[in-house]
Amino acid sequence: MKALVYRGQEGLVMEEVDDPQPAPGEVLMKVRYCGICGSDVHLFAMGIFFLGTTPGHEVSAEVLSVGPDVSGWQPGDRVVVKHRNCGQCEYCLAGRPQLCLQPEGFGRGIRRGAFAELLVSHHSTLLRVPPGLDMAHAALAEPLAVAVHAANVSGIEAGQAAVVTGAGPIGLLIIDVLRDRGVQPIIVSEPVERRRALAAKLGPDHVVDPSTANLADLVRSETDLGAHVVFECTGVPEAANAALGFLRPAGTMLVVGHSEKSYTLSSLMVMARELRIEGVFGSGGQFPAALDLLAAGKIHCQDIITRIAPLAETEAWLRELNDAPSDGKVLIDPWAA
Ligand SMILES: [Zn+2]
Ligand SMILES: [Zn+2]
């Protein structure tokens, strides 16, 4: 099969590799779509993929065959695939599989990911795609699960105010999740014009350019005491520093995005206003909730997915999304010419 393989200086090289065979407990799948994740963009830009990695973990796929000791899955079944966790460590037992102490993810070096024509994975990592759901839209299940997880961790409720900084794919999906939960107002900050236009299609209350608008003033005029939650989806130091100023006392800043740059925060602000700063990582076990939202038509998939590209264009998109991000979600179709 064709697969992209990380070869250091040479980048992501399209190679002909042996078709994977399902071991006991595993399922062989044909990849339908695989989204480019912000983490793929960063790991590639920083040159820190393990050599030999095939990235890609935001996948929808079709079952081709099953290995020994697999029941419940048939050829033709439509699935999405999550990372495997041990199910036995203290974090798994506490319902936090994203913090598993013995994780076995795919697309990060240990197991081949889905920027390839075929994928094998353990049967326990598969979830069924609801009937009628478009397979391109189903490929949003993983990043949407991240957005659901972020909303859950934040504790935000209907009628409370949120600021979303950064309208990349995760920011866009968070906007849809918050709207579905009746969060109001939702104020979105995004410096790139095309991404502001994408965000506006999802119907938040305000979409502003932080380089020209005074976001702090807007938040103050739209909320009595400030936002209950800021979903910081950029990891950009200026955005994160500003975010604390939008919060009401006892508000929460959720660290959803990351970049290679560190930022400093005012200990006085955090202390005196009892602010909460919390990270969210991965899908937090929220794939089923994400699939439900997709099946119910609650997500603006057509707007959020801005491009479907062939495997050969993956590296170019990784560079573009790092250097001048203006798209929403870019999906790779490994079978497209
Ligand atoms: Zn991802
Ligand atoms: Zn575990």
Distance, in Å, from the CA atom of 287 to the CA atom of 179, rounded to the nearest integer, reads 19
Tell whether 310 and 274 lie within a shared domain.
no
Which bound ligand lies closest to the C-alpha atom of 149? 1
Tell whether 273 and 319 lie within a shared domain.
no
Angle, CA 107 vertex, CA 103 and CA 111 arms, to 5°: 65
Question: Could you tell me if residue 228 is inside a domain?
Answer: yes
Question: Could you tell me if residue 288 is inside a domain?
Answer: no
Question: Could you tell me if residue 55 is inside a domain?
Answer: yes
Question: Could you tell me if residue 291 is inside a domain?
Answer: no
Domain with 233 in it: 144-279
Question: Could you tell me if residue 254 is inside a domain?
Answer: yes
Which bound ligand lies closest to the C-alpha atom of 281? 1
Mean pLDDT of 80-91: 95
Number of domains making up the chain: 2
What confidence tens digit (pLDDT) does each residue in 17-59 have? 999 999 999 999 999 999 999 999 999 999 989 999 999 999 9
Q: Spell out which residues have Cβ within 5 A of ligand 2, the ion.
A: 85-86, 89, 92, 100
Going from the Cα of 96 to the center of ligand 2, the distance in angstroms, rounded, reads 8
The CATH number of the domain holding residue 108 is: 3.90.180.10
Question: Could you tell me if residue 152 is inside a domain?
Answer: yes
Identify which of 120, 119, 123, 87 has the alpha carbon closest to the alpha carbon of residue 103: 87
What is the three-class DSSP state of 288? Answer: helix
| DSSP H/E element including 189 | strand 186-189
Tell whether 264 and 182 lie within a shared domain.
yes
Tell whether 53 and 87 lie within a shared domain.
yes
What confidence tens digit (pLDDT) does each residue in 173-214 have? 999 999 999 999 999 999 999 999 999 999 999 999 999 999
Indicate whether 219 pLDDT > 90: yes
Tell whether 30 and 107 lie within a shared domain.
yes
Question: Could you tell me if residue 211 is inside a domain?
Answer: yes
Identify which of 74, 180, 78, 75 has the alpha carbon closest to the alpha carbon of residue 134: 78
Going from the Cα of 89 to the center of ligand 2, the distance in angstroms, rounded, reads 4
Tell whether 101 and 174 lie within a shared domain.
no
Q: Spell out which residues have Cβ within 5 A of ligand 1, the ion.
A: 37, 58
Question: Could you tell me if residue 18 is inside a domain?
Answer: yes
